[in-house]
Chain A
């Protein structure tokens, strides 16, 4: 069983469209995250949720809206997609003490905006 699963794996869409990426974890973790990896492979946090509550909301355009219907799911909706949104987006989850036990990442969603 996949611990953290994201769908879709690949997403190609036109500028101006609205799209969603879904994430689910079956590890029983309380905290979930969205990270963005740019073309230079640098990973930067976008959002973190703990028990469905937003904990961290980094400087991300408000076109990006996370939604957590329950603690096992964290979805990412993006409105009015722009060329600069092209990147790989990773969902992750962790226990209460990620400093000791680390994060479990999904395999990523490669978003290409054309």
Chain B
């Protein structure tokens, strides 16, 4: 059973469109992280959310942690080709990360 379920698995959109990626679980987490992985590179940390209901913004990216701390979402406004990549929802436990399967985003110019 996958601890973290991400949806959609694949997303292809036109430049300028908005999108939302979801991360869900039946477990309660002390924190969740979002990473972005570009082709040929390792994942890079975008944000950590800690408090239930928390909203964090990183330029055109908005991250939300669910009130019950079981889910999170990533919203991108006016997507650009540079946003293309694999977005990973991650739980950082003691001495290991547990990854969702990721959402592969393609932004077409």
Binding site for B on A (CB under 8 A): 4, 31, 33, 35, 40-45, 48, 50, 55-56, 90, 92, 98-108
Contact partner of B96 among A40, A48, A100, A105, CB < 8 A? A48
Instruction: Say whether B61 faces chain A, with CB atoms less than 8 Å apart.
Output: no
Residues of A within 8 A of B102 (CB): 41-42
Whether A33 lies near B88 (C-beta < 8 A) is no
Secondary structure type dominating chain B contacts:
strand
Whether B99 lies near A33 (C-beta < 8 A) is no
Contact partner of B40 among A43, A92, A108, CB < 8 A? A108
Given contacts A41-B101, A42-B101, contact A108 B96 (CB under 8 A): no
Contact partner of B42 among A31, A98, A105, CB < 8 A? A105
Contact partner of B88 among A43, A104, A108, CB < 8 A? A43
Whether A41 lies near B86 (C-beta < 8 A) is yes
Size bracket of the B interface: 20 to 34
B27-44 vs A: 1/0 string, CB under 8 Å? 000110101010011111
Secondary structure type dominating chain A contacts:
strand
Whether B42 lies near A92 (C-beta < 8 A) is yes
Q: How far is the CA of A33 from the CA of B42 in the complex (A)?
A: 13
Q: How far is the CA of A112 from the CA of B41 in the complex (A)?
A: 17
Contact partner of A99 among B31, B41, B44, B99, CB < 8 A? B31
Residues of A within 8 A of B97 (CB): 33, 35, 43, 45, 98, 103
Instruction: Say whether B19 faces chain A, with CB atoms less than 8 Å apart.
Output: no
Whether A48 lies near B95 (C-beta < 8 A) is yes
